[in-house]
Amino acid sequence: MAEPISFEVSNGLPLIKIKTQLSYFVSSTLVLLTIFVLLGALPSIAQESAGSSVDTQQVIEIAVELNSLGLPIEMFNGFSALYEKELGSVKLCDEHIAFNEYKVCSKALKNEGNSPFILYSKGQLPTQTKVSPQTEPNPEARILAKNNSTQSLKRPSAPIVVLFHGLSDSPFFVRGIAEHLNSRGFTVVAPLTPGHGKLDAVADMKDPNLQARWYEHVDKIMALVEPYSDTTFIGGFSTGGTLATRYMILQPDEIDGLLLFSGALALSRNAENLGRIWGMKWLAKIVDGDFVSAGPNRYRYPDVAGYAGLTLADAIFEVRDLLEEKTVSKPIFAAHSLADIITPFYGIEDLMKAIKGDHQTFTVDPSYDTCHQDLVVSSVMMIDLKVDKTQLNISERCAVPKPNPLFRNMMAMLDYYFAQRLPAQRSSAQ
């Protein structure tokens, strides 16, 4: 007989742990609570939690049933483990989580809107090898064989898009794009870049290893998602675009395309000149003082730390150096407002000249006066922003967030970009 099932909740999703008398670790499976209700498994789990034994065959059937849902269990576990290390701890999310969403919450964050998340698409499951009862009569061995048969397969087969947010921002600002792509059948991963979204970011905004932490985080996220699809796109908003571009240049064989939204491939002349002055980052730490993370926008720091801004400049300079050293061919989608004075469009133009490929651009005419940070904001996102305008100088250009008036057009162009590369997406783009 197997030992009783232990049942607990982690990050908004139930966790099942099943052990056999041989002490084999049979499975660690995350599923939504509603899925258990649909499977009729919840009453059984409650009964087993009370201390009664569980039938091994029933355990097998539940494990097989949950496996058939196509949830990227190991990716969820790895996602949580990564942020538990980065943030110190993770906790059960209090706010509503969508049926197809996995989110990592933490007391270290300003609120749950700053949390990293995954919007997953089951996609088409690979064919699994059936185990014959005659050749494999042992129930425990049968489960292990089924697990082993799926470990080597990439599941789910839905294409994956990884979107990194911008400097002083949070994953909230890529949610509009993420939800659109997920509705088109993509699994979308929205990481939280180290030093962001936190209640206390003083140490992070002065960390001499901040740039290295950003790079390491990108590497870990990409390594985490790699086993789950044969098709992976990387991209980001602003600084997230810088980090994504660097990774694409260094690991072109791992990426099928690059997506940039207000991509920070250039800064203003003054900002870049400051970035080239020796000792300026040390001086910036002094000027920054104790960095304040609270402000009128719940999902963004009120200011960009000078030190972090200069760290971004270093990353941009590194990307340019890499482009001179390497020859890369990869299709790029770039959306940009021509009224953006934070990250000038010529940075994108220079990148597209250096990278070979069938590139597509979507530009917002200056007449719309769409600010840098507003390019990725949809009308739906504005409902959740709830910015405290009493803390803003509303006479300043770009002080008050506004939705991108051409957000839907931008998404339509993004659909077209994917339709040229993924046959399965063509019907969605038409």
Reported as a single tens digit per residue, the pLDDT across 191-218 is 999 999 999 999 999 999 999 999 999 9
Residue 92 lies in a domain: no
CATH number of the domain that residue 264 is part of: 3.40.50.1820
Residue 333 lies in a domain: yes
pLDDT at 390: 87
pLDDT at 45: 38
pLDDT at 88: 94
Residue 422 lies in a domain: yes
Q: Which residues contact 53 (CB under 8 A, 6 or more apart)?
A: 1, 2, 4
pLDDT at 123: 61
pLDDT of 242 higher than 90: yes
Residue 159 lies in a domain: yes
User: What residues make up the domain containing 196?
Assistant: 154-429
For the CA atoms of 66, 189, 185, 330, what is the dihedral angle to 10 degrees? Answer: -130
Confidence of residue 5 (pLDDT cuts 50, 70, 90): very low
pLDDT at 424: 53
Q: What is the mean pLDDT of residues 3-29?
A: 34
Across 23-37, 87-101, 115-129, 289-303, the highest mean pLDDT is recorded for: 289-303
Residue 101 lies in a domain: no
Mean pLDDT of the chain: 81
pLDDT of 150 higher than 50: no
Residue 298 lies in a domain: yes
Confidence of residue 394 (pLDDT cuts 50, 70, 90): confident
> What type of residue sits at position 340?
D
More confident residue, 173 or 33: 173
pLDDT at 426: 47
Residue 147 lies in a domain: no
Residue 139 lies in a domain: no
Reported as a single tens digit per residue, the pLDDT across 360-387 is 999 999 999 999 999 999 999 999 988 8
Q: Could you give the number of structural domains in the chain?
A: 1
Q: What is the DSSP string of 205-241?
A: GG-TTHHHHHHHHHHHHHHHHGGG-S-EEEEEETHHH
